[in-house]
Chain A
Amino acid sequence: MSASADLAHVASAAKADARPAIELAGVNKWFGALHVLRDVNLSVALGERVVVCGPSGSGKSTMIRCINRLEVHQEGRIAVDGIELTDDVRALDAIRREVGMVFQSFNLFPHLTVLENCTLAPIWVRRMPKKDAEELAMELLARVKIPEQAKKYPGQLSGGQQQRVAIARALCMRPKIMLFDEPTSALDPEMIKEVLDVMVELAGTGMTMMVVTHEMGFARQVADRVVFMDQGEVVEVGTPDQVFNAPKTDRLKLFLSQILRGH
Chain B
Amino acid sequence: MSDTRSDPRYKRRPPKRPLRLSWSDERVRGIFWQIVVVAAVGSLIYWLWSNTSHNLAVRRIATGFGFLDREAGLPIAESLIPYDPTNTYARALFVGLLNTLKVAVIGIVLATILGTAIGIARLSKNFLLSRIAGAYIEIIRDLPLLLQLLFWYTILQGLPGPRQALKPMEGVVLSNRGLKLPALMWENAHTAALVAFLLGIIGTWLYARMARAKQMADGQPRKVWPTALGLILVLPVVVWYALGAPWEIEYPVLRGFNFRGGMNISPEYFALLIGLVTYTAGFIAEVVRAGIMSVNHGQWEAAQALGLRHGSVLRLIVMPQALRVIIPPMTSNYLNLTKNSSLAVAIGYQDIVSIANTTLNQTGQAIEGIAIIMAVYLTISLSISLFMNWYNARIALVER
Contacts and interface: CB of A to CB of B under 8 A. Distances in A.
Interface of A: 68, 70, 93, 96-97, 99-101, 103, 105, 107-111, 120-121, 123-132, 152-153, 155-156, 166, 169-170, 173
B307 A129 contact: no
A132 B215 CA distance: 12
Contacts, number: 87
Contacts of B321: 109-111
A22 B312 CA distance: 27
Interface range on chain B (Cβ under 8 Å from partner): 20 to 34
Interface of B: 215-221, 296, 298-299, 301-309, 312, 316-317, 320-321, 324, 397-400
Contacts of A96: 304-307
B397 A155 contact: yes
Contacts of B299: 107, 109
In this complex, the member of A96, A101, A107, A169 whose beta carbon has the largest number of chain B beta carbons within 10 angstroms is A107
B317 A109 contact: yes
Contacts of B219: 123, 126-130, 132
A70 B301 contact: yes
A153 B220 CA distance: 27
For the complex of A and B, the 9 pairs showing the least CB-CB separation, nearest first, are A155-B399, A107-B302, A130-B216, A121-B306, A107-B298, A101-B305, A96-B307, A153-B398, A127-B219
Contacts of A126: 219
B223 to A, nearest CB: 14
B220 to A, nearest CB: 6
A152 B397 CA distance: 11
B400 A155 contact: yes
Given A96-B304, A125-B308, A156 B399 contact: yes
Given A70-B305, A101-B305, A107 B296 contact: yes
Contacts of B306: 96, 100, 120-121, 125, 169-170, 173
Contacts of A169: 306
Contacts of B324: 111
A173 B307 contact: yes
B400 A156 contact: yes
Nearest to A95: B307
Nearest to A71: B301
Given A100-B305, A127-B220, A173-B306, 18 more contacts: A70-B305, A93-B307, A103-B298, A108-B302, A109-B302, A111-B397, A127-B219, A128-B219, A129-B217, A129-B218, A129-B219, A130-B216, A130-B219, A132-B219, A155-B397, A155-B399, A166-B302, A173-B307
Contact of B398 (A121, A127, A156): A156
B317 A155 contact: no
A60 to B, nearest CB: 17
Contacts of B302: 101, 103, 107-109, 166
A150 B397 CA distance: 16
12 contacts: A70-B305, A96-B306, A105-B298, A107-B302, A109-B303, A110-B321, A111-B321, A127-B219, A129-B217, A130-B216, A153-B398, A173-B306
B308 A121 contact: yes
Contacts of A130: 216-217, 219
